[in-house]
Amino acid sequence: MSEVTIHIYDTPHLAAAGVGDVFMEGIADFYPKLAGLAAGKTMHPVYEHLVRTEKHSSGLFSQITFAQLDEVIPSDKDEVSFAEDINKYLLSRLSGGYKAFLDIDGRTSQPDLEAKRHRANLLTNGGLGVQLLGIGVNGHVGFNEPGCHPESECRVRALAESTLERNGYEPDILAITLGIAEIMSAQRIVMVATGAAKSSAIAEMINGPQSSNCPASLLRPHTDMKLFLDRAAAKNL
Ligand code: GLP
């Protein structure tokens, strides 16, 4: 049985606006806890919605500390990082600014230490209030790939074949990701998935066995989790 509340919209943009509104609600509900930000293409219309809303309500995020979910460790130092993406498309566009962004340095020479530092940084800053999440086509959350441990913490991970392919990464690329344990520690999880490519992962997450074969299914016991889908992503439910 899944406790996840599911909201289905006609278009990807409506799903993005829906999750954006509930993310902002969560920020207010759990202030001053951290607001967890995810990256990926699905998030771009969500960022757009947040930026547009904040424009009419300048200062909305001025006291908010955001935290990063995951980051790639690029083989090519010129590759754009998730943190840069979040900054470019969201944080730098907030007219009233924000308090802080607890980011992950993917270009560090000591990624294991960086993962530990990020985990400790989240804890000393009060932990996660609301966490915004996407999902991979293979059911990954953050970069917790199939086979991950339900109690995993922030750490360095290798990526699954399908993730490397879909994101266009070099084969040897690694990533730093919050673990399932930190994601589960958030007071509320709000997840968004759009497009038919995500429909099997969504069906597996909601109706499949709770198993690390589909990391997103490990989040099902969370007591405050909301899922926002467009019709294409919901088609196998
Ligand atoms: C990426 C990231 C996740 C993201 C997910 C979906 O690889 N690890 O943080 O939520 O996979 O990405 P996209 O929205 O680009 O499909």
pLDDT tens digits, one per residue of 158-183: 999 999 999 888 888 999 999 999 99
Q: What is the set of domains in the chain, with CATH numbers?
A: 5-230 (3.40.50.1360)
Catalytic annotation present for 140 = yes
The confidence score (pLDDT) of residue 163 equals: 93
Q: ∠219-208-46 over CA atoms, to 5°? A: 50
What phi and psi values does residue 116 have, to the nearest 5 degrees? -65, -40
CA of 216 to the centre of ligand 1 (A): 12
Phi, psi of 157 (to 5 degrees): -130, 150
Q: In angstroms, what is the span from residue 39 Cα to ligand 1's centroid?
A: 6
Closest to 115 in 3D by CA, of 131, 102, 104 = 104
Residue in 49, 54, 70, 71 annotated catalytic: 70
Tokens of 50: 């947040």
Has 145 been annotated as catalytic? yes
Query: Quick one: average pLDDT of 99-124?
Result: 97
Residue 211 has pLDDT above 90, yes or no: yes
**Mean pLDDT, range 100-118, rounded to an integer:** 97
pLDDT digits (tens, 9 = 90+) for 17-69: 999 999 999 999 999 999 999 999 999 999 999 999 999 998 999 999 999 99
Residues found in the chain: 237
Residue 121 annotated in active site: no
- How far apart CA 179 and CA 147 sit, in angstroms, is 12
The catalytic position among 54, 114, 138, 144 is: 138
The confidence score (pLDDT) of residue 2 equals 62
pLDDT score of 77:
66
